[in-house]
Amino acid sequence: MYIAIFCLLFVVWLLFSTCLYLHGQMHPHTGSSMNDLHGVSAILIAASSFLAAVPLALMLGNLALWIIPPLRRAHNEAFADAPNASFNDGMRQLATFAALVLPLCLVAAAVGIIDPWHN
């Protein structure tokens, strides 16, 4: 649980920082801080960063837990009789979810970065 939260916060920060940097490059007369974003672009960048981070963070958390052998064995024992609870099935389902969510979030983030409402 804590690993997933840490991964989520890290990926959100990484995506949001990248979007702010790109926004600053597109509009050099403004700075690269949250204060320089306007209402719609700030919402688009923040929401798309968070929504894109969810499947990526869950995949990163699964991978982190899978790397530690005692946790992997405990997971395999706990979910031995549950179908579709293996590491591969979980990662496949998360990858499918990411394939649906990430393109939409990238388009929303790109609109927020370009900021067509900017004067």
CA dist 31 → 5, 21, 23, 35 (Å):
30, 9, 9, 8
Q: Whole-prediction pTM value?
A: 0.81
What integer pLDDT is reported at residue 34 of this predicted model?
64
Show me where the domains of the chain are located. Answer: 2-114
Tokens linked to 55: 């499947």
Instruction: Convert the pLDDT of each residue in 25-60 to its tens digit.
Output: 888 877 666 666 778 888 999 999 999 999 999 999
The answer, yes or no, to whether residue 89 has pLDDT greater than 70, is yes
Instruction: Convert the pLDDT of each residue in 58-70 to its tens digit.
Output: 999 888 888 988 8
